[in-house]
Amino acid sequence: MKFSVSSSDLQKKLSLAGGAISSNPVLPILEDFLFTIEGNQLTIAATDLETSVTTNLEVNADGNGTVAVPARILIDTLKALPQQPITFSVDEDNFGIEITSAYGKYKLAGENGEDYPDIPVPTDADEVSVSSLALLEGINKTLFATSTDELRPAMTGVFFQVDFSKLVMVATDAHKLVKYSLSDITGEVTSSFIIPKKALNLLKGALPSTDEQVSVSFDKANAFFAFGENKMACRLIDARYPDYNAVIPVDNPNELLISRTDLQQSLKRIVIYANKTTNQVILTIADGSLTVSAQDLDFSNEATEQLSCTYSGDPLTIGFNAKFLVEMLGVLEGEEVKLEMSTATRAGILLPTEQAGGQEIMMLVMPVMLSN
């Protein structure tokens, strides 16, 4: 089996698929890429048994076949080569691989491709179609709010809820919650599932930032994403997602409108003076003015700033973790944001004042109990 390919084209495809390879795999063969040649098509696959990536590339091939190629040494070789055509020759008896470039020859030991674990493919799966840009937006807006607590596996991923032409993505770590809704997907199904963080990080790096449609299919155990020449499969998190609607307060009569960057920059300055464990800042809101303050009694540090805002409601003093607010304001877009609150002990709702067409985002942040 022999084929020639451009080194830079191959490197691009390998860096995409390589994201699925684990740094400490359970089987030695999982340190490899699976190369399969059919006609003039090279299919590259990689998996860690949880997440799999498959991608295709046109090559000049002589003979069909399959071989497992050590990933690290191949990627390092391609990085060190300038762009040029390279030729792979595979010995079908011992799976030795010889790579020929304009500079010379490199030999490495491959393995039998037949021993590579099967890559899951959708059979009898439900399917919806989503714009790549909208899906990318949803991942970027929710991923940061997932939990790292392995004792609550459901919260370590993003919850997808498909309802015919609507997709809702939710992420929470019990301190903050993000709900992103998309109302123009193409689908005939209702279902919900939880996708792990690693798979979404991989997907985020691979999705095209164009309006191309991405096919999302899912069964009881796996979710599959297909776009262009790329396919990704991941095992779903088998857990029950908490009832997020129950924690979203409905009646929030106190409404604050403020410049997003002004509030974000103010919080970044004030949090320097806050207690390092709680990062607690106190918002004191009255008609037309917002006072942001923090103090760290252990070190006698204290800071106060005043910002102009538009406020309707009763005067209110409420404490939040500044790090969470800064992170959320960084993910939101637009000039102005709206913070809706009811009392000092109930969650605040953070919204952009303008939502993009067909998309809706809502963030919720739990208050920090006031110590004084």
Last residue of a domain, one of 93, 115, 137: 115
pLDDT per residue over 270-324, tens digit each?
A: 999 999 999 999 999 998 899 999 999 889 999 999 999 999 999 999 999 999 9
pLDDT class of 372 with cuts at 50, 70, 90? low
| Containing structural domain, residue 288 | 249-365
pLDDT, the chain, mean: 94
In this structure, the answer to whether residues 226 and 310 fall within a common structural domain is no
What's the pLDDT at 259? 96
- Whether residue 57 is contained in a domain is answered as yes
Q: Which of 245, 279, 294 delimits the end of a domain? A: 245
Do 160 and 256 fall within a single domain?
no
In this structure, is residue 370 part of a structural domain?
no
By the 10 Å C-beta count (0-12 exposed, 13-18 middle, 19+ buried), 151 is classed as exposed
> Which value, in Å, is the radius of gyration of the alpha carbons in the chain?
25
Sheet holding 32-38, edge to edge: 111-112, 65-70, 32-38, 41-47, 51-58, 230-235, 222-227, 213-218, 126-131, 186-187
71-80 vs 7-17: helix crossing angle, rounded to 10: 140
- Verify that 162 and 270 share a domain, yes or no: no
Question: Does residue 113 have a pLDDT over 60?
Answer: yes
Rounded mean pLDDT, 342-367: 93
Residue 370: is its pLDDT beyond 90? no
pLDDT the model gives residue 371: 59
Cβ 12 vs Cβ 53: under 8 Å: no
pLDDT at 357: 83
Q: Which pLDDT value is given to residue 324?
A: 96
Residues 190 and 221 grouped into a single domain: yes
| Residue 15 sits in the same domain as residue 42 | yes
pLDDT recorded at residue 87: 97
- Domain membership of residue 306 (yes or no) is yes
Number of domains observed in the structure of the chain: 3
- CB < 8 Å & 24+ apart, contacts of 333-336: 334/260, 335/259, 335/260, 335/261, 336/257, 336/258, 336/259, 336/260
User: Do 204 and 220 belong to one domain?
Assistant: yes
200 and 253 part of one domain: no
371 occurs within a structural domain: no
The band of 101, judged by pLDDT with boundaries at 50, 70 and 90, is very high
| pLDDT of 71 over the 70 cut | yes
Please report, for the domain that includes residue 81, its CATH number: 3.10.150.10
pLDDT tier at 337 (50, 70, 90 boundaries)? very high
pLDDT of residue 97: 96
The answer, yes or no, to whether residue 201 has pLDDT greater than 90, is: yes
- Residue 366, pLDDT > 70, answer yes
Cβ atoms within 10 Å of 137's Cβ, excluding its own: 19
Would residue 56 count as lying in a domain? yes
Residue 186: per-residue pLDDT:
87
In a domain, 121, yes or no: no
